[in-house]
Amino acid sequence: MPNHHPTMKQSFADRAQTASHPLSKYLLRLMELKSSNLCLSADVTTARDLLFLADKAGPSIVILKTHYDLISGWDYNPQTGTGAKLGALARKHGFLIFEDRKFCDIGKTVQMQYTAGTARIIDWAHITNVNIDAGKEVVGALAEAAAKWHERINYEVKTSVTVGTPVSDTFDENGMAEADGSRLEPSSGQSQDQAGNGQPYGRESNGRKGSIVSVTTVTQSYEPAGSPRLTKNMVEGDDVLFPGIEEAPMDRGLLILAQMSTKGCLMTKEYTQACVEAAREHRGFVMGYVAQECLNSEPEDNFIHTTPGCKLPPEGEDEGGQLAGDGLGQQYNTPAKLIGKGTDVVIVGRGIIMAADPQGEAERYRRKAWKAYLERIQQ
């Protein structure tokens, strides 16, 4: 039956005013600014193709969905690697990065998969997702890991190292220099001449070389980070920011895999309801769902819905007809059908990637999806 929740009729701008998650608030504002509710599923196989596609489709999308483990040539360097380069493109074109990891394991394991390992997903992906077949507790585990990470990266460590030979204008009766009121003892073999009788430091009066007193000082302080990004000016284009909106906050967000578009999906109504409960229990971390319909039902629900399986027929063909699946279980619907059922962001992969002109096709999907959204809120 149709969902008549208020979020079905509210504009993204209005929903941004009441969104509880900082990243949800930012995404809704970005969608309004770019007139886009399109996510590109960048299921390519090389890092070069991934970066090329993100750059070309970037102006039309608000989310780039990745599968980093599909990519050959992924550079894991945290400052100059593939994740950092995607981050620079995200700032340049105005989109968020969503690593479609679908975590599903015990809490400790998913925490490590999220924050450690070779990819360190949490460092470069604004959003990730979870399959709660392992239990709702996995959502809490990921939320805990994200909170600890956020607390740690809020500050930069400033380290100062000074090395040198102390210099003083005063000496004690034995000729030893006093620095800041403290007596400096000579090291083995050091003569009084070294400490101020006119002979140069390190040279005894008989011409033999003596040891030199030196002081090394290391100080560390924690200062608030001046930018919400992790790496600054490390990769090409990192200083370019999409006009009209600030950088995305450093908060991380989660989408819960509540429903799928594949034929024969085993996700029951009970499973989906458990997803809704987990989202409400962790509103500070959960942005919304990967789902096939709007799951908002309580007055305070303002979760964002993303939906895969979106496809348009070729230009000029009727959009009301039945779209063929891919033969591997994936079922397709048009942007109008999906957004009419309550999704906010349509996820498109092969429809754009396999097109002769991916950049132009991304723009066609953006226009169609945005038109469907406007029609929904104006009904």
Residue 123 a catalytic site member: no
67 and 142 share a domain?
A: yes
The 8-class DSSP code of residue 201 comes to T
The domain containing residue 164 runs over which residues? 159-223
Task: Say which residues have a Cβ less than 8 Å from residue 346's Cβ, sequence separation at least 6.
Answer: 37, 38, 39, 306, 307, 310, 335, 338, 339, 365, 369
Instruction: Give the end of a domain, one of 223, 240, 268.
Output: 223
- Of the residues 14, 55, 56, 102, only one is catalytic, namely 102
277 and 137 share a domain?
A: yes
Residue whose pair of structure tokens reads 């709660």 in the numeric block: 132
208 and 64 share a domain?
A: no
Task: Say which residues have a Cβ less than 8 Å from residue 231's Cβ, sequence separation at least 6.
Answer: 78, 79, 80, 84, 87, 238
142 and 251 share a domain?
A: yes
**Residue 43 in marked binding region:** yes
Residue 251 a catalytic site member: no
Q: What is the pLDDT of residues 9-41, one digit of tens each?
A: 999 999 999 999 999 999 999 999 999 999 999
Residue of 6, 1, 2 lying closest to 303 (CA atoms): 6
Q: What is the pLDDT of residues 71-108, one digit of tens each?
A: 999 999 998 999 999 999 999 999 999 999 999 999 99
> Which helix (H) or strand (E) segment is 92 a member of?
helix 82-93
3-state secondary structure of 271: helix
The 8-class DSSP code of residue 176 comes to -
**Residue 341 in marked binding region:** no
Q: Is 1 within the bounds of a domain? A: no
Residue of 245, 191, 180, 189 lying closest to 215 (CA atoms): 180
pTM of the predicted model as reported, rounded to 2 decimal places: 0.79
- Tally of domains within the chain: 2
Higher per-residue pLDDT: 155 or 51: 51
Residue of 181, 210, 215, 178 lying closest to 193 (CA atoms): 210
45 and 145 share a domain?
A: yes
3-state secondary structure of 358: helix
Q: Residue 307: beta bridge partners?
A: 346
CB 92 within 8 A of CB 56: no
CB 225 within 8 A of CB 154: yes
DSSP symbols for 106-118 = -HHHHHHHHHSTT
Tokens linked to 217: 């000082």
136 and 255 share a domain?
A: yes
Q: What is the pLDDT of residues 251-260, one digit of tens each?
A: 999 999 999 8
- Of the residues 25, 85, 92, 100, only one is catalytic, namely 100
- Of the residues 14, 105, 133, 193, only one is catalytic, namely 105
Q: What is the pLDDT of residue 239?
A: 76
Residue 105 a catalytic site member: yes
